[in-house]
A and B are shown apart, each in its own frame.
Chain A
């Protein structure tokens, strides 16, 4: 159960767009449309922001969008805002019915 691969950090200025990648294998990301994304502010619990690759929970901002191509999923945040500064984690269902997370990406809003 190797962790999915995410960049350690990304940054952007307010109003810009950024994309965070999440690379797995055909046994997880590539094999199922079951990638989810979580936002975690320091000292807080994670919060679901995307599920099933590109679906947003009810009421969540449409500035957040998800996609997938092959074994790589992506989270795009448009119109960056200071409150978007947080850690972001991807997660996937796996062929052994377990779940696997990515290592996390720290987003800095400059």
Chain B
């Protein structure tokens, strides 16, 4: 069974840092682009970042560029999101999502999400 399980969320003060993890199983991790998508409480989905299978390409939304870093460990089947200089507007549920097989830019499997709250 294909599974994505996020962890690492919590309460952090403005300006602080947090590292999210996503443990994957049930598929060949290195064959897929992986993404982070967030959803503020009561709001819509917002794409955050993506990384390709061999980590040679990463892309970020303008709102997190320079503050967030996406990475992966293909040996351990793990996806990460290092979040620095956190702001109140970064408060959201963060989902990791698998890129559709091949070149189709869609998200075909999602984790259950981890909540990040930025507040003093």
Interface contact B44-A103, CB-CB below 8 Å: yes
How many angstroms from the CA of A104 to the CA of B47 in the assembled complex?
13
How many residues in B have their beta carbons less than 8 Å from beta carbons of A?
23
Contact A36-B106, Cβ < 8 Å, known A98-B59, A99-B35: yes
- Taking CB atoms and an 8 Å cut-off, the chain A residues in 56-108 that contact chain B are 57, 89, 91, 93, 97-104
- Taking CB atoms and an 8 Å cut-off, the chain B residues in 40-86 that contact chain A are 44-47, 50, 59-63
How many angstroms from the CA of A48 to the CA of B44 in the assembled complex?
15
List B contacts of A45 (CB < 8 A): 95, 110-113
What would 4 more interface pairs be, CB under 8 Å, given A47-B110, A51-B104, A52-B104?
A: A1-B61, A3-B44, A91-B47, A98-B47
List A contacts of B61 (CB < 8 A): 1, 98
Residues on B facing A (Cβ under 8 Å): 35, 37, 44-47, 50, 59-63, 95, 100, 104-108, 110-113
Interface contact A89-B44, CB-CB below 8 Å: yes
How many angstroms from the CA of A61 to the CA of B95 in the assembled complex?
25
Q: Which residue of A lies closest to B100 (CB)?
A: A51
Closest-CB distance, B53 to chain A (whole angstroms) = 15
Closest-CB distance, A56 to chain B (whole angstroms) = 11
How many angstroms from the CA of A40 to the CA of B39 in the assembled complex?
12
List A contacts of B110 (CB < 8 A): 45-47
Q: Which residue of B lies closest to A93 (CB)?
A: B105
List B contacts of A99 (CB < 8 A): 35, 47, 50, 105
- Taking CB atoms and an 8 Å cut-off, the chain A residues in 4-52 that contact chain B are 34, 36, 38, 40, 45-48, 51-52
How many angstroms from the CA of A47 to the CA of B111 in the assembled complex?
10
List A contacts of B35 (CB < 8 A): 99
Contact residue among B47, B59, B104 (Cβ-Cβ distance under 8 Å from A100): B47
Contact residue among A3, A48, A52, A97 (Cβ-Cβ distance under 8 Å from B107): A48
How many angstroms from the CA of A52 to the CA of B112 in the assembled complex?
24
Interface contact A34-B44, CB-CB below 8 Å: no
List A contacts of B62 (CB < 8 A): 1
